[in-house]
Amino acid sequence: MTIAQLVVPVIVGGIAELDRTSVFHGMLSEPIILSPLVGYILGDPVLGLKIGALLQLFFLGMVSVGGSSPPDGAMAAVAVTSAASLATHYTAVPHEVALPVAVLLVMVPAGRIGKAIDARLKESNVALLHKAEDDLETNGAGVVEKAIWKSVLKTFCTYAVAVAVVASAGTLITSFVLAILPQGWWKALEISGSLLMMASAGIALASLRERRAFLVYASVGICLLLLMVGLK
Amino acid sequence: MNKLNGTEDISGSAARKAFMRSFMIQAGWNAERMQNLGFLYSLIPLLDGASPEDSRDILLRHLEFFNTHPYMAGALAAAVGKMEKNGEEKATIRAFKQSMMGPFGALGDSLFWFSLKPVAVLVGVVLAMAGQFIAAVLAPLILYNVFHLWMRVWSYQGGIKEGSKLISRISGFRFSIINALLGMTAATAIAVLVVCELGTGGGLFGAGEWDVASCALAAVVVFLAAVASRRGLRPVTLLYLAAGFGLIAALGVP
C-alpha cells in the first residue's frame, strides 16, 4: 500500500462529488463508474466492479429532484470499495463474495453522511449569495465569479476530507467486524450476496418511472426462463 | 461546439464562454435562491458590450430565485441573454424565465434522471456481470454523455439563436415516446441481469448455477422487492431484510 493509493481515491472521491453536486454532472459519481476506478487504484478492480454493480442498483432511484438531497451513492461507493480493498490484505474472509457483502452491509449507511453534508453546503452557500448581492452594486460581475469558485473549492475540499474520514473510519469498523465474524457466517454471507442482488434489482425496478416497467420486466423474465427451459 | 457561432448581437466567443460556464450552473447552489448564482455566472459573458450600468441592473434583476434541471439551465440562460441583448421588456424576460424553469426542470428530470441514466448504468451493470471491466465503466459514460452533451449544445444553440422562441424547438422533441422506450429498455435490462446473474452461475454474486425453478423464484423475489419498495419500504431496510433472510436461511441449514 503506497501513499498514492491512499491519497488518489480521496482526490477521485472529491472530483466525483463535484460532478454529482456542482460541475458537469457527467455520471462520474455513479457507483458503477466510481467503484471499479477506486478498486483499480487500490489494486482490485474486480472487487470494485462487484461493489459498483450492487451499489448502482441500490442507488439507481436516488436522484436530486427539485433541490432535494438524496443519499450519496458516490460517498458509499468510495467508502465501501476502499474498505473492502484494504481488508483483502489482512482478513481470511473469502474475497470473492463474502467480503464485499460484509463490507457493503456495514458501510451502506455512509450514503447518509453525504446527504447531510450536501444539505449543510447548500445552507452555507446562502452566505456566499448574500455577500455577492451586497458587493455586486459596487464591484460588478467579478463578485459572482468569485462566489462560484469559492463554492466549488469549498465543495471539493469538504467532500475530499469527508471521503477520507468516512473511508478511514469505515476501514476501522470493517476490520473490527471482519475480525469477530464467525467462520460459519462466511457461507451465509455468500447466500446473502445473491439475495442482496435480488433486493437491489427490485429497488432499481421500483425506481423506474415508466408505468409499464413491471409488465415489461415480467414479460422479458418469463421469456428468458422459457428460453432456459428450452436450452436445458 | 463549433455550432455555437453566436449571432449578430452575441459574439461566438461570448456564446462559447457562456456555454462552458453552463456546466457550473449548480455551483453556488444555495438553500435560499437555489441556482441563481450559477445562472448569473453563465449569463455574464452574454452581457458583453452592455454598459456597466445596464450590466449591473441586469445582474441585480437576475439574482432572484432560479431552479431548473442543470442540463436545461444553460439554454434558459442563453435565451434570457438574447432577450436582454434585444432590449425586451424586463417584465417579459422575467415572465419567460419564471414560466419556463418549472417545465424545463420536469422535462430534464424525466428524460435524464429517470430514463436515460437508468438505461446507461444498467448496461454497465450487465457488462460488469459479463466480466467486461473496461466496457462496464466506459459504456455508461459514453452512452449517457454523448446524448447529454448533444442535448445541451442543441438546446443552448436554440436559446442563443431564437431567444424566447426556444420553447418551439424544445416542444418539437418527442420526449414522452423517448422516455417510454428508455423506461422499457431499463426494465428489460433488469430482467436480463436477474436471470443471467443466477441462471448462468457466472454472475457477480451468483453462488453457482441455479436451476430454472430457482431462477423463477428469484425473479419473483425481485418483483416482490420492487412492490415493497414502491409501497414505501425504505431501500436500506429492504437490503438488511434480504441479508437477514440469507443469513437465517444459511445458518439454519446444518
Give the Cα separation of A97 and A186 in Å (integer).
9
pTM (predicted TM-score):
0.93
Least confident of A178-182, B129-133, B216-220: B216-220
The pLDDT of residue B123 is above 60: yes
- The pLDDT of residue B254 is 53
| pLDDT score at B1 | 36
In this structure, are residues B165 and B99 in contact, taking their beta carbons and an 8 Å threshold?
no
Task: Give the one of B23, B125, B219 whose C-beta lies nearest to A221's C-beta.
Answer: B219
Same domain, B164 and B233: no
Does the beta-carbon distance from B204 to A53 stay under 8 Å?
A: yes
* B25 burial via Cβ count (<10 Å: 0-12, 13-18, 19+): buried
Looking at the fold, whether B236 and B151 belong to one and the same domain comes out as no
Q: Residue B113 sits in which domain range?
A: 12-173
Q: pLDDT averaged over chain B?
A: 89
Q: Are residues B193 and B143 both part of a single domain?
A: no
Closest listed residue to residue A141, CA positions, set B45, B81, B35? B45
Does residue B181 share a domain with residue B130?
no
The pLDDT assigned to A186 comes to 85
> A121-135, A217-231, B18-32, B79-93: lowest mean pLDDT where?
A217-231
Closest by Cβ to B194, choosing from A45, A213, A221: A221
The reply to whether A36 touches chain B by the CB within 8 Å rule is: yes
Searching chain B, which residue's CA lies closest to the CA of residue A99? B205
- Domain end, chosen from B173, B205, B225, is at B173
Q: Which of B173, B201, B230 is the last residue of a domain?
A: B173
Do B230 and B166 fall into the same domain?
A: no
pLDDT tens by residue, A110-127: 999 999 999 999 999 999
* Residue B3 located in a structural domain: no
Instruction: Using the predicted structure, report yes or no on whether residue B208 has a pLDDT greater than 50.
Output: yes
Calculate ∠ Cα B115-A68-A199, nearest 5°: 55
Residue with cell 469527508: A162
The nearest CA of chain A is from the CA of B84 a distance in Å of 16
Give which of B19, B40, B14 is closest to B157, Cα–Cα: B19
Together in a domain, B192 and B159 = no
C-alpha cell at position B25: 450552473
* Facing A148 at nearest CB: one of B37, B194, B218: B37
- Extract the C-alpha cell encoding A105: 452491509
Question: Does the residue B225 lie in any domain?
Answer: yes
**A39 CB-near residues (< 8 Å, 6+ apart):** A45, A46, A47, A48, A49, A51, A52, A81, A85
Residue B7 lies in a domain: no
Average pLDDT over residues B71-82: 95
pLDDT of residue B105: 95
Tell me, yes or no, whether B217 and B163 share the same domain: no
Q: Is A134 buried (19+), middle (13-18) or exposed (0-12) by CB count in 10 A?
A: exposed
What is the DSSP code (8-state) at residue B163? G
Residue B5 lies in a domain: no
Q: Is residue B1 part of a domain?
A: no
| Nine-digit cell string for A133 | 448581492
Same domain, B152 and B189: no
Instruction: Residue B222: list chain A partners with CB under 8 A.
Output: 198-199, 201-202, 205, 217
Within this chain, do residues B76 and B112 fall inside the same structural domain, yes or no?
Answer: yes
Whether B160 and B17 have beta carbons less than 8 Å apart is answered as no
What is the C-alpha to C-alpha distance for residues B208 and A50, in angstroms, rounded to an integer?
Answer: 16
Residue B181 in any domain: the answer is: yes
Query: Within this chain, do residues B17 and B125 fall inside the same structural domain, yes or no?
Result: yes
Which value, to the nearest 10 degrees, does the dihedral of the CA atoms of residues B205, A218, B176, B23 take? -10
Q: Are residues B74 and B136 in the same domain?
A: yes
Question: Are B36 and B85 part of one and the same domain?
Answer: yes
Residue B131's pLDDT band, with cuts at 50, 70 and 90, is confident
For residue B140, which residues of chain A lie inside 8 Å, CB to CB?
A: 27, 30, 32-33
Average of per-residue pLDDT values in chain A: 92
pLDDT of residue B155: 95
pLDDT tens across B188-198, in order? 999 998 887 76
Last residue of a domain, one of B173, B189, B209: B173
> Residue B64 falls within a domain, yes or no?
yes
Structurally, chain B folds into a number of domains equal to 2
* B34 touches A132 (CB < 8 A): no
Residues of chain B neighbouring A196 (CB-CB closer than 8 A): 205, 239, 242-243, 246
pLDDT confidence of A44, banded at 50, 70, 90? very high
Of the partner residues A32, A155, A196, the one whose CB lies closest to the CB of residue B243? A196
